[in-house]
Amino acid sequence: MAFEPQLVYQTLTSAPIVPVFYHPDAEVTCQIIKACYDGGIRAFEFTNRGENAKEVFKVLRDFISTNYPKMALGIGTVFNALQAEEFIALGADFVVQPCTTMDVAEVCKAQNIAWMPGAMTVSEVYNATLLGAEIVKVFPGNVVGSGFVKALKGPLPKVKVMVTGGVEPTSESLKEWFSAGVSAVGIGSQLFPKAVVEAGNFEEIAQKINTLLTYYQTLAPTA
């Protein structure tokens, strides 16, 4: 299925936990994707952090298209237009940046791809919205803290925030961030403990995700 930008944003609204993951082994990553889907995830961010990231991404694109067409596959850690163009050509449904650059914004707009730029200050968040961002990634969350998001909502009440970095896979952490006003959270290594991944205990990951999403539903009316 084609993921128009609004469909990606709607997907995040219904299941607002985005796994942020990189592994050089495509087969391992496919197992992680299966576990995430089984747990209820519908948007997965693969990060552009390894030399063979593009080769792995190609495998993931085919795997998801064949088995989980209702899951949006995004690419993260994108810094420039060339990287964005390459991964969009490989089938990325959305692009996530640790920063905000105009050239990536323009590529995503021209190709009708959901774009989530990174920001750390009020000025950066505001400038990202001026460039067309519907969801701004506040990063790193563990540095700015949930209090920043709550304060940000004062002058910018309509801005939608996805926070990444420092979000823990616990009910306490989800409550803290969603109560502060975020629209979604990205969770990386803490969601995928190295020992669990190496042991191939993917069912444990699926159960953890399901527990988190179930808990989120209790927060949804006030989030």
Residue 166 binned pLDDT confidence (cut-offs 50, 70, 90): confident
Burial label for 187, CB within 10 Å (0-12, 13-18, 19+), is: buried
Cα distance between residue 44 and residue 141, in whole Å: 19
Sheet holding 160-164, edge to edge: 114-116, 94-96, 72-76, 43-47, 17-21, 184-187, 160-164, 135-138, 118-119
pLDDT-derived band of residue 222, with 50, 70 and 90 as boundaries?
very low
Q: What is the pTM of this model?
A: 0.96
Predicted pLDDT at 223: 41
Catalytic residue among 34, 109, 137, 158: 137
Average pLDDT over residues 24-37: 98
pLDDT in tens, 65-88: 999 999 999 999 999 999 999 999
Instruction: Kindly list the distances between the CA atom of residue 44 and the CA atoms of 34, 41, 90, 201, in Å, as whole numbers in the listed order.
Output: 11, 7, 15, 19
Mean pLDDT value across residues 39-64: 97
CA atoms within 13 A on the CB side of 180: 24
Average pLDDT over residues 43-54: 96
How long is the chain? 223
Choosing from 4, 34, 45, 55, the catalytic residue is 45
Domains and CATH numbers, the chain: 5-213 (3.20.20.70)
C-beta separation of 206 from 35 below 8 A: yes
Is 220 a residue whose pLDDT tops 90? no
Give me the phi and psi of 161, to 5 degrees please.
Answer: -120, 135
pLDDT of residue 13: 87
pLDDT, mean over the chain: 96
* pLDDT for 140 beyond 60: yes
Output the pLDDT for position 221.
56
Average pLDDT over residues 165-185: 96
175 is catalytic: no
pLDDT over 70 (residue 190):
yes
In the DSSP assignment, the letter for residue 163 is: E
Percent of the chain with pLDDT over 90: 96
Our answer to whether residue 58 is catalytic in this structure is no
Q: Is the pLDDT of residue 1 over 80?
A: no
Rounded-to-integer distance, Cα 209 and Cα 58, Å: 25
- Rounded to 5°, the CA angle 151-158-115 comes to 105
73 beta partners: 44
